[in-house]
Amino acid sequence: MKKVKVNGAPIPEEAVQFEFDRLVKFYANHGMTPDEVKANIPKLREKALEQAIGAKLLVDEASRLEIPVSAADVDAEVAKIAAQLGGMENYRKALAAQKIDEAAFRKELEKGARVNALVNKACLGVDDPSEEEVTAFFEAHREQYAAARQTIVESHDAIKDLLRHEARGRAMDAYVAELREKAKIEYEEETECGCGCGHHHHHN
């Protein structure tokens, strides 16, 4: 597994795993078959690593810019998590069970809200996909939709969602690329050297 440092801080394995799980879920929800997912695992791992680097760069940049977030922004993040857990009571129980201090947790969420604000800023210029683009996508993947017996009406919102996700993704990639230019990113490959001494030599 590649190890990466961003501005001297290593990217934790969990961060990469988190991005990887998210990618798999996203593609599975958008019609990629389990076999296709399997076939794409190396690609998805690479992408997950890149996204974890991007996420770290965004967190660093958001705190550097001290993007203001309101208590309401943090409340919205709390509400999102509570909804996933099935309500505020479960959210409090979950924190208590893991002995997490709610104030400290809100501080973490504040980082998330900061990053969201930064992401929204970076995506300001991104237009919503047009109806023509949605139709063109449907036409291009007509066979898949026919196989799934889905009409354009049924798949319209999902396509729009996918295209919006991709357009925002491109804007984010461009923004993260700018951040990468300024950042120090070190890759360490764990490789055995050819001399057979069994030592690991690090290549940046």
Q: Pick the closest to residue 180 from 56, 46, 96, 14 (CA basis).
A: 56
Could you tell me whether strands 3-6 and 9-10 are parallel, antiparallel, or unpaired per DSSP bridges? antiparallel
Determine, yes or no, domain membership for 190.
yes
> How many domains would you assign to the chain?
1
Query: pLDDT tens digits, residue range 116-127?
Result: 899 988 898 899
Determine, yes or no, domain membership for 72.
no
Determine, yes or no, domain membership for 88.
no
Determine, yes or no, domain membership for 94.
no
Query: pLDDT tens digits, residue range 37-79?
Result: 999 999 999 999 999 999 999 999 998 998 889 999 999 989 9
Banded model confidence at residue 191, pLDDT cuts 50, 70, 90: low
Number of Cβ within 10 Å of residue 74's Cβ equals: 20
Task: Give the pLDDT of residue 187.
Answer: 87
Task: Give the pLDDT of residue 196.
Answer: 46
Determine, yes or no, domain membership for 39.
yes
DSSP 129: P
Tokens for 41? 């695992």
Query: pLDDT tens digits, residue range 132-185?
Result: 999 999 999 999 888 889 899 999 998 998 899 889 989 988 999 999 999 999
| Mean pLDDT along residues 78-82 | 91
pTM: 0.70
Determine, yes or no, domain membership for 78.
no
DSSP string, 56-107: HHHHHHHHHHT----HHHHHHHHHHHHHHHTSHHHHHHHHHHTT--HHHHHH
Determine, yes or no, domain membership for 43.
yes
- Boundaries of domain holding 179: 3-66+123-203
Determine, yes or no, domain membership for 179.
yes
Task: Give the pLDDT of residue 201.
Answer: 46
Task: Give the pLDDT of residue 165.
Answer: 85
67 neighbors 111 (Cβ within 8 angstroms): no
Q: Pick the closest to residue 133 from 172, 154, 161, 170 (CA basis).
A: 161
